[in-house]
Structure 1
Amino acid sequence: MKYILVTGGVISGIGKGVIASSIGTILKHCGLHVTSIKIDPYINIDAGTFSPFEHGEVFVLDDGGEVDLDLGNYERFLDVTLHRDNNITTGKIYQQVIECERKGDYLGKTVQVVPHITDAIQDWVENVAKIPVTEDATEPDVCIIELGGTIGDIEGMPFVEAFRQFQFRVSHDSFCCVHVSLVPQPKSTGESKTKPTQASVKELRGSGLSPDLIVCRSEMPIVEEVKQKISNFCHVKPDQVICIHDCTSTFRVPLMMEEQGVIEFFSERLKLAIGTPRPKRFMWKWRDLADRHDNVRKVVEIALVGKYTQLEDAYASVTKSLQHAALCINRRLILSYIDATSLEEATKVDNPVKYHQAWQILCRSGGVIVPGGFGKRGMEGKIAAITWCRTTNKPYLGICLGLQAAVIEFTRNIMNWKEANTTEIDPSTAYPVVIDMPEHNPGQLGGTMRLGKRKTIFHGDSTLKKLYGNVESVDERHRHRYEVNPEFVEQIEKAGLQFVGRDETGNRMEIIELPNHPYFVATQYHPEYISRPLKPSPPYLGLVLAAAGKLQTYLNNTMSSNTTSEDGENSDEELAGILRRNMSNMSLSGASAPATPLQFNVKSPQS
């Protein structure tokens, strides 16, 4: 087993997760099996109780683990299935050590950070690194470990000390450290400042770890003289300093790293069994995807109506899923975030300009999505947006709370149950069409929701069933505590709203659709968690297709691969063929290209 530790310096949020994912992507294209571990030094047991404003999105895994959003990056880039133990927190480590102390496992010794906490960290990493993360159950060859925060943070010190020891626990050829550091470029001078990187590397060395590779994050490319300066002052060779500057998309990052020789570096440093020479079309799927992202001309506009719109990371997986779907049909996504409260009548009185601007954005969009969330704030604004989509035939996708809000809107305005509500907001409502799940809420919040991968069985014919490929059931990830009240289901269906997907018991409503509407779909599960760049989530693909006016073409399957429109763009028929080829078992992590590569007729923007 080989271990690559990724640390950060100067500031947090400079892209350690993308760098770590990109390293894994490159090594996986070289034929290696890769897994990832994310370390978060906070004391929380997991990310489940975080406010999205605090730490961004809570990502959910197949086994129900509520983890840091970086694990979403790992799964999307590496096309693997991770587990709750792939996310280590200070809370988990201390909880484990305290439980061992209570059981007497330490034989009466004084329990200390060194060696008990540091040993627990090392044992955890070694054990988790061996867990298979692919369908073939192959044990990984390389484990990439991202240490959250920045070097020097007091809460991260036990982890740094653990890895100082760990480098001697495994052989020199089995462990290396990648340090990601900011190289600021002040606009006043235009110079690349290396002093922050020098300071962070000095701090890292003072903790007993020496960087083998320094990744410089900057706004613009850095010149060779700057690399040479960092090399001199940080005691690494010049070819061990690489630059990742701001680029058009994260799809470019693995390509930039590969071009700067990281494969040769890791192959030599870790004695990896990487075959040479590499295939002629090495990483061709990534290049194709990055090129399409940069060159696509036509756009599709989607409005996201949510509660946490001040922080885009709060909807990271939703955004990525929409991007995957848009790229799949050769469209550039224009995503507008609308604070749900801005659509409410109270805002019309208090701030009419904000109110009218929000409705203007909503009205001009090609489609609307209401993602998951909790609490009362903004609920009436979401319902107002859903009413507008239903009555104007605007494509709509609801996720989790978006499904619940759609059921409330329908029962209020079609069935005339004006007091219909969720018991989360109004426990005494006369029409509790959305209710709590008491068996998943035993008096505490953390880890008590319906979490992880569950089966949804389709009932009857539906648009979403067709988008999934006419399968009888799907397995998707859940994260919710409230659901549609089964006592009202029969009356709601008689009024016209169809529950086309249910759980295995038939009592939990998973999917709703409104007949005779271009696209009015909502799911109780979160399909964004398993969306992939070349295999977009079907519900999101349906929304984007409908917003682009292409859904019916795709569903009708009237494809003709040789037909191209006069302007050189893909015709509707060719689009259907592209979509089907894109979604037929394609994986970004493959090491070789198929005999017949995908063909995309995309023109570069005119100069």
Structure 2
Amino acid sequence: MKYILVTGGVISGIGKGVISSSIGTLLKSHGVRVTSIKIDPYINIDAGTFSPYEHGEVYVLDDGGEVDLDLGNYERFLDVTLHRDNNITTGKIYKSVIEKERRGDYLGKTVQVVPHITDAIQEWIEKVAVVPVDPEDQKEPEVCLIELGGTIGDIEGMPFVEALRQFQRRVGKENLCIVHVSLVPEPKATGEQKTKPTQASVRELRGLGLCPDLIMARCTSVLNESSRVKISTFCDVAPECVIGVPDASSVYKVPPLLEDANLIEYFTNRLSLPLKRNKSALARWRDLANKHDTVQKEVRIALVGKYTKFEDSYASVIKSLRHAALKVNHRLTIHYIEADDLELTTQVKEPVKYHEAWQALCSSDGVLVPGGFGMRGMEGKILASKWARTTNKPFLGVCLGLQCAVIEFSRNVLKYADANTTEANPKTSKPVVIEMPEHNPGIMGGTMRLGQRRTNFTTSANNSVIRKLYGDHDYVEERHRHRYEVNPEVVDELEKHGLKFVGRSTDGQRMEILELEDHQYYVAVQYHPEYISRPLKPSPPYLGLILASTGRLQNYLEKGSKCSPRYTDSSGVSECDEFDSTE
């Protein structure tokens, strides 16, 4: 097994996840089986209880693991299926060690950070690195990418740094390559690239026993030669091992950039990898990056959410929209609308915000209402759902978005004035959305309906738009993350009035997909289709929204979609890619 460790210096959030994913993409495109591990030094067991404003979205895996959003980057770039153990946290490590101590596994020894915690970290990495991540090919990976979260020097990351220092001796330096991602700032006052922060970061990394083999210099503009020479000289790496990674218009440009920097040649020699040379390996990524920069037609989507001030809160949702927009050769413009700005209380308190929010909604080509938790902004999402329904505007609701669509329809079509979710009003006389019976309200972490579940299309869905988008199969498999669901007692009445539940759980009790009759595209899903969208294989519900918003949905449906029930595979090319919906 070969390992590539990616660390970060100077500041957090400089793109370690994208660079790790891009390295993996580069290797995989040349015939190497790749897996990834993300280390997060926080004490939380997992990301499940995070606020979206605290750490961005919570990404959900097939096995129900609630993990860091960087694992979403890995899955999207590498087109693999990761597992909950691919995300290591301080909480997980300490929990496992404490459980061993309680069982008496340490035979009365004093349990300490070194060696017990550091040994546990190394053992965890070795165990996870060999787990197959390709559903179609169960062979062990050949390379494991390890991203160490945070910044070198963070106190909470020290046990992991020490464990990795020991790990390089454990596996042999010839099997471990260290990539350090560091910021090279360019102050506007001088216009000069400053290498001192990178020098200091590398010096600290070396002081902790890890010597970088490659330095990825993140900078605003192209890294100039004098800066490259300085970093090479003072950080003791060869000039060709200092790779400038300037800001790019899209992340799709990063894998080709690394290929152009001759990293394939470097990894072949440094890790003795059996790479299969393929000059056109990243051709599709180059085409995607070029398309991102050159498309002229615009599609405007209103994202009516609760956490719109922080883009990472909807990272997978935004990427899914971009995947779909590029598929139909359109440039995506997202109107971020805070849901509570659409409410009447805002009209009274802050009329400018209210009118700006409604203007943004009304000027959009389509409406997306994503998931969320809690009461805040729910009435705004319900109003957005009503506006899309009554104006024949393309609409996609996800998770809470489906629940809001049901509440709105119940209030305004069924005339259930008190219709609501028990999440917002536990005493409502018309609970059209209820808490799942098996939910344990005493524990927050890991108690939702999580992970991949099968959704069967009903017999009434034969002419369903969403079924056709999925390739007209009998079922789909998607990932879930929710505690509330549509009350089965109101389903018959809703369907009588035109709100059809065309997809249900395998036992028929949970409503998974709804579709409105006599509407160009009014679809909502209880699951989160954004989690398994891919740059070259957009999610069908999101693709449907973009197609309807650009007036191309009927053309697409007439030609037919050939997606598999899962619509992703390990080959790198899906049947979905064979059909180009552009005119």
TM beyond 0.5: yes
- What are the superposed Cα offsets for residues 564-588 of structure 1, whole Å, 9 maximum, x if unpaired? xxxxxxxxxxxx7xx7699997879
**Conserved 8 A contact 2:327-2:580:** no
1:303/1:77 CA distance change after superposition, 3 Å: same
SS across alignment from 2:291: helix
Q: CA deviation at 1:593?
A: 13
Q: Distance in 2 between matches of 1:279 and 1:162?
A: 36
SS across alignment from 1:464: helix
Q: Distance in 2 between matches of 1:416 and 1:582?
A: 40
Name the structure 1 match of 2:319.
Answer: 320
1:600/1:195 CA distance change after superposition, 3 Å: farther
Q: Distance in 2 between matches of 1:293 and 1:583?
A: 28
- What are the superposed Cα offsets for residues 319-347 of structure 1, whole Å, 9 maximum, x if unpaired? 00000001111111111110001100011
1:212-223 residue pairs with structure 2 within 5 A? 212-223=213-224
Name the structure 2 match of 1:428.
Answer: 427
Name the structure 1 match of 2:329.
Answer: 330
- After the TM superposition, which of the residue ranges 440-449 and 415-424 deviates more from structure 2? 440-449
**Conserved 8 A contact 1:281-1:593:** no
Identity within the alignment, %:
67
Name the structure 2 match of 1:563.
Answer: none
Name the structure 1 match of 2:493.
Answer: 491
Name the structure 1 match of 2:405.
Answer: 406
Name the structure 1 match of 2:469.
Answer: 467
- After the TM superposition, which of the residue ranges 420-429 and 260-269 deviates more from structure 2? 260-269
Q: Which amino acid aligns with 1:511?
A: I
1:165/1:584 CA distance change after superposition, 3 Å: closer
Structure 1: 5+ residue stretches without partners = 558-575, 603-607
Q: CA deviation at 1:11?
A: 0.2
1:81/1:16 CA distance change after superposition, 3 Å: same
Q: CA deviation at 1:554?
A: 1.0
**Conserved 8 A contact 1:181-1:215:** yes
Name the structure 2 match of 1:396.
Answer: 395
1:181-200 residue pairs with structure 2 within 5 A? 181-200=182-201
1:465/1:598 CA distance change after superposition, 3 Å: closer
Out of 543, 555, 558, the residue aligned to residue 556 of structure 1 is: 558
Name the structure 1 match of 2:310.
Answer: 311
Q: CA deviation at 1:600?
A: 10
**Conserved 8 A contact 2:45-2:89:** yes
Name the structure 2 match of 1:535.
Answer: 537
SS across alignment from 1:440: coil
1:593/1:556 CA distance change after superposition, 3 Å: closer
Name the structure 2 match of 1:562.
Answer: none
1:138-157 residue pairs with structure 2 within 5 A? 138-157=139-158
1:583/1:405 CA distance change after superposition, 3 Å: closer
SS across alignment from 1:529: helix
**Conserved 8 A contact 1:324-1:536:** yes
**Conserved 8 A contact 1:286-1:588:** no
Q: Distance in 2 between matches of 1:322 and 1:227?
A: 37
Name the structure 2 match of 1:449.
Answer: 448
Matched, 1:506 2:508: yes
SS across alignment from 1:438: coil
**Conserved 8 A contact 1:536-1:583:** no
Q: CA deviation at 1:282?
A: 2.8
Name the structure 1 match of 2:364.
Answer: 365
Name the structure 1 match of 2:375.
Answer: 376
Matched, 1:237 2:256: no
Q: Distance in 2 between matches of 1:172 and 1:597?
A: 44
**Conserved 8 A contact 1:77-1:588:** no
- After the TM superposition, which of the residue ranges 540-549 and 440-449 deviates more from structure 2? 440-449
**Conserved 8 A contact 2:471-2:564:** no
Name the structure 1 match of 2:123.
Answer: 123
Name the structure 1 match of 2:44.
Answer: 44
Matched, 1:224 2:228: no
Q: Which amino acid aligns with 2:543?
A: L
Q: Distance in 2 between matches of 1:158 and 1:177?
A: 17
Q: Distance in 1 between matches of 2:503 and 2:378?
A: 24
1:505/1:599 CA distance change after superposition, 3 Å: closer
1:66-145 residue pairs with structure 2 within 5 A? 66-135=66-135, 136-145=137-146
Q: Distance in 1 between matches of 2:567 and 2:507?
A: 30
1:150/1:61 CA distance change after superposition, 3 Å: same
Name the structure 2 match of 1:355.
Answer: 354
Q: Which amino acid aligns with 2:245?
A: I
**Conserved 8 A contact 2:328-2:582:** no
Q: CA deviation at 1:599?
A: 8.4
Q: CA deviation at 1:280?
A: 3.7
Q: Which amino acid aligns with 2:528?
A: H
Q: CA deviation at 1:315?
A: 0.3
1:601/1:535 CA distance change after superposition, 3 Å: closer
Name the structure 1 match of 2:181.
Answer: 180
Q: Distance in 1 between matches of 2:403 and 2:549?
A: 22
1:585/1:284 CA distance change after superposition, 3 Å: farther
1:601/1:505 CA distance change after superposition, 3 Å: closer
Q: CA deviation at 1:440?
A: 2.5
- After the TM superposition, which of the residue ranges 293-302 and 392-401 deviates more from structure 2? 293-302
**Conserved 8 A contact 1:581-1:598:** no
1:581/1:514 CA distance change after superposition, 3 Å: closer
1:336/1:57 CA distance change after superposition, 3 Å: same
Provide the alpha-carbon RMSD of the alignment: 2.0
Q: Distance in 2 between matches of 1:446 and 1:163?
A: 29
**Conserved 8 A contact 2:320-2:530:** yes
1:466/1:344 CA distance change after superposition, 3 Å: same
- What are the superposed Cα offsets for residues 420-458 of structure 1, whole Å, 9 maximum, x if unpaired? 000001001000000011313251100000000001000
Normalised to the residue count of structure 1, the TM-score between the two structures is 0.93
**Conserved 8 A contact 2:10-2:201:** yes
Q: Which amino acid aligns with 1:524?
A: Q
- What are the superposed Cα offsets for residues 75-119 of structure 1, whole Å, 9 maximum, x if unpaired? 000000000000000000000000000000000000000000000
SS across alignment from 1:4: strand
Name the structure 2 match of 1:546.
Answer: 548
- What are the superposed Cα offsets for residues 372-401 of structure 1, whole Å, 9 maximum, x if unpaired? 000000011111111100100000000000
- What are the superposed Cα offsets for residues 118-153 of structure 1, whole Å, 9 maximum, x if unpaired? 000000000000000002111000000000000000
1:152-163 residue pairs with structure 2 within 5 A? 152-163=153-164
**Conserved 8 A contact 1:309-1:338:** yes
Runs of 4+ residues over 3 Å off in structure 1: 579-590, 596-602
Q: Distance in 2 between matches of 1:246 and 1:137?
A: 37
Q: Which amino acid aligns with 1:514?
A: L
Name the structure 2 match of 1:476.
Answer: 478
1:329/1:498 CA distance change after superposition, 3 Å: same
Q: CA deviation at 1:597?
A: 9.4
SS across alignment from 1:145: strand
Q: CA deviation at 1:222?
A: 1.2
1:238/1:6 CA distance change after superposition, 3 Å: same
SS across alignment from 2:75: helix
Structure 2: 5+ residue stretches without partners = none
Q: Distance in 2 between matches of 1:583 and 1:187?
A: 51
Matched residue count: 578
1:227/1:593 CA distance change after superposition, 3 Å: farther
SS across alignment from 2:301: strand
1:339/1:426 CA distance change after superposition, 3 Å: same
